[in-house]
Amino acid sequence: MKDYESIKKILVEFLKNYITKKSKSKNLLIGVSGGIDSAVVATLCAAAMPKNTHALIMPTNASSTKNIDDALNLCKKLGLNFKILNIQAILDAFGDSIGEDIDKLRKGNLSARVRMSLLYDYSASINALVVGTSNKSELMLGYGTIFGDLACAINPIGELYKTEIFEFAKYLGVDENIINKAPSADLWDGQSDEADIGYTYETIDEILKGIAGGNLGASVDKFGQDTVDEIVKRVESNKFKRQMPLIAKI
């Protein structure tokens, strides 16, 4: 297990130093979903800037009531300045404007981009930096919406795998209700991260660590070549989400 005491100190200092020494902003802003990643980031932000951390809770009509309750309880527990913005009317207006039904994947991506638009708009009004909540597993897999939940100014948890996020959350004292929930972006009713990806995070992270370390032999022996190849292909095909847009050379 990692030294989470040291990691907490490093990440809190990272947030504090960036906002006080490298930015003209005065506040930190996060989107709080009721999930474990945003809970960990909110806890770190509250430790770094206890009076200057703001949060938006942005449910749709399909959002889990439990997730909304957990998000509210987290914000109150941490003493965050928070607002609730239901984005369903924005999603409905989008569908009406294009004049066609939108499938659940498009709705999920749109929801993520609407939330990020609201975060950046609100950040301008309160002079804040938008803090990201994507972990290393999600970033490597490309499991996120480009210009949506992947967009941020700074990200304190981008070097922690999802399985490490669970351990870190326990160390930070995140509520067990949040820790014990199945990971979900809550983009539609019954949505589950692991069901979408097709593997548990324990399997995914072991293979991702092999990719990062340049040694997949143990993963092939344990999970089989087909499984490893599938994860490797996903990492490679979504590499563009982790980079600035490619500009053609002339």
What's residue 216's pLDDT? 96
Is residue 192 part of an annotated ligand binding site? no
37 is known to lie in a ligand binding site: yes
134 is in an annotated binding site: no
Q: Which domains does the chain have, with CATH numbers?
A: 4-187 (3.40.50.620)
Annotated binding residue 113? yes
Which pTM was predicted? 0.94
Query: What confidence category does residue 144 fall into, taking pLDDT thresholds of 50, 70 and 90?
Result: very high
Average of pLDDT values for 29-57?
Answer: 97
Does the annotation flag 133 for ligand binding? yes
Distances in whole angstroms, Cα of residue 240 to Cα of each of 84, 108, 211, 244: 32, 20, 17, 8
Task: Find out whether 115 is annotated in a ligand binding site.
Answer: no
Strand order in the sheet with 81-84: 81-84, 53-57, 27-31, 128-130
- Of 237, 212, 216, 236, nearest to 228 by C-alpha is 216
Kindly report the number of other CB atoms within 10 A of residue 160's CB atom.
Answer: 21
pLDDT tens column, 173-196: 999 999 998 777 666 666 777 788
pLDDT tens, residue by residue, 58-78: 999 989 899 999 999 999 999
Q: What's CA 51's distance to the chain center, in Å?
A: 23
Q: What is the 3-state secondary structure (H, E, C) of 208-235?
A: HHHHHHCCCHHHHHHHCHHHHHHHHHHH
Residue 64 labeled ligand binder: no
Residue 163, annotated ligand binder?
no
Ligand-binding annotation for 184, yes or no, is yes
